[in-house]
C-alpha cells in the first residue's frame, strides 16, 4: 500500500447505515481519516469515524458539514456521494413531488456535495469522486422512473466532471450496485425479491462490503487512470447496460 493512498480526508454522504457505512469502514481500515454525514444523530459508529449532520437537499447544511470535516480532517480529498432514497410507484401514480424529491436527494444532492468538495480538491491539486448510482440507472425498472432518472444522471455528472477537472489530478467515477442487502431493499415485496434473484447470474444478492471494496479501490492510487467509468457491481444483472 503506497503512503499516498492512506491518511486522506474522506467524506461519505449517508454513511450511518447500509452501503455508506460499509464504505466508511473500508476507508477506515485503509488508514484514512473518515467522516460520514447523517440526517439524524448517530451513536453506534465504529471508533474513528467522525459523524456530522447534513441533509443533502439543503445547501447550507452541506456547507456546515464540510466546514466541520475540514476543521477536523482537512480538505476533503475523497468524496463518496452515497445518500439516496427511493419512492417507487408506477408512472401513472407518480406525483410530481415523488419525482422531484427523489431527484433532489439523489442527483441534486450529489451536485451540492460535489460542488462544495471541488473547491478544496482544486486547491489540493488532487481528488477522487465516487458517485453511487445503481444498475437501474442504465437497465431501467418499472416503478422507478424517478429513481432511474436520478441514477443515470450521475453518469453524465461524473463524465462531465472528468472532462472539466480531469487534467487537475481529479477522477470521477460511478459505481453501479445491483441488488444489495440493506434497509432499502429489505422493504421490497417478496415477489420483487424473487424476480431479482432469478435475473441475477451470480444467484445471490450483494453484501454492502462488496460495494465498499470497489469504491475504496477506485479511489486508490491503483485506479489513478480510471475516470468517467461506470463500474457495475451487480453479479452480472445489468450486463451490456
Ligand X SMILES: NC(=O)c1ccc[n+]([C@@H]2O[C@H](COP(=O)([O-])OP(=O)(O)OC[C@H]3O[C@@H](n4cnc5c(N)ncnc54)[C@H](OP(=O)(O)O)[C@@H]3O)[C@@H](O)[C@H]2O)c1
By CB under 6 A, name the binding residues for ligand X: 13-14, 16-20, 37-40, 54-57, 82-85, 105, 109, 132, 134, 177, 179-180, 182-185
Using DSSP's 3-state secondary structure scheme, residue 23 falls into helix
Closer residue to ligand X, CB minimum distance, 82 or 171: 82
Contact (CB, 8 A) for 60 and 34: no
Nearer CB in complex with ligand X: 19/170: 19
Q: What is the dihedral of CA 7, 11, 12, 16, to 10 degrees?
A: 90
Q: Is 179 a catalytic residue?
A: no
Q: Residue 100 and residue 95: Cα distance in Å, rounded?
A: 9
Give the three-state DSSP class for 56.
coil
**Smaller CB distance to ligand X: residue 17 or 241?**
17
Tell me how far, at minimum, the Cβ of 169 lies from ligand X, in Å: 26
Task: For cell 422531484, name the residue.
Answer: 100
Strand boundaries in the chain, DSSP class E = 9-12, 33-38, 49-53, 78-81, 127-132, 170-177, 230-233
Least distance to ligand X from the beta carbon of 136, Å?
Answer: 7
Give the DSSP letter of residue 206: B
- Taking the complex as a whole, the smallest distance from the CB of residue 197 to ligand X amounts, in Å, to 13
Shortest CB 129 distance to ligand X, Å? 14
Nearer of residues 83 and 223 to ligand X, judged by Cβ: 83
Q: Of 113, 117, 104, which is closest to residue 153 (Cα–Cα)? A: 104
> How many beta carbons lie within 10 A of that of residue 183, not counting itself?
8
Catalytic residue among 139, 147, 179, 196: 147
For ligand X, the closer CB: 5 or 86: 86
Closest CB 187 distance from ligand X, rounded Å: 9
Question: Catalytic positions, please?
Answer: 147
Amino acid at each position: 500500500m503506497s503512503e499516498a493512498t492512506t491518511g486522506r480526508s474522506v467524506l461519505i454522504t449517508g454513511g450511518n447505515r447500509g452501503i455508506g457505512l460499509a464504505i466508511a469502514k473500508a476507508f477506515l481500515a485503509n488508514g484514512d481519516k473518515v467522516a460520514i454525514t447523517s440526517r439524524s444523530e448517530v451513536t453506534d459508529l465504529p471508533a474513528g469515524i467522525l459523524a456530522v449532520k447534513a441533509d443533502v437537499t439543503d445547501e447550507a447544511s452541506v456547507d456546515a458539514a464540510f466546514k466541520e470535516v475540514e476543521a477536523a480532517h482537512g480538505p476533503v480529498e475523497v468524496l463518496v456521494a452515497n445518500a439516496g432514497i427511493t419512492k417507487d410507484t408506477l408512472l401513472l401514480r407518480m406525483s410530481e413531488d415523488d419525482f422531484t424529491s427523489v431527484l433532489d436527494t439523489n442527483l441534486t444532492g450529489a451536485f451540492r456535495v460535489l460542488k462544495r468538495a471541488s473547491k478544496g480538491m482544486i486547491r489540493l491539486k488532487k481528488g477522487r469522486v465516487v458517485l453511487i448510482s445503481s444498475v437501474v440507472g442504465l437497465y431501467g425498472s418499472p416503478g422507478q422512473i424517478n429513481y432511474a432518472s436520478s441514477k443515470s444522471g450521475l453518469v453524465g455528472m461524473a463524465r462531465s466532471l472528468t472532462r472539466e477537472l480531469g487534467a487537475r489530478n481529479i477522477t470521477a467515477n460511478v459505481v453501479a450496485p445491483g441488488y444489495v442487502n440493506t434497509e432499502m431493499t429489505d422493504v421490497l415485496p417478496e415477489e420483487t425479491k424473487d424476480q431479482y434473484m432469478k435475473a441475477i447470474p451470480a444467484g445471490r444478492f450483494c453484501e454492502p462490503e462488496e460495494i465498499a471494496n470497489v469504491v475504496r479501490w477506485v479511489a486508490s492510487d491503483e485506479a489513478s487512470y480510471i475516470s468517467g467509468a461506470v463500474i457495475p457491481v451487480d453479479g452480472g444483472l445489468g450486463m451490456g447496460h
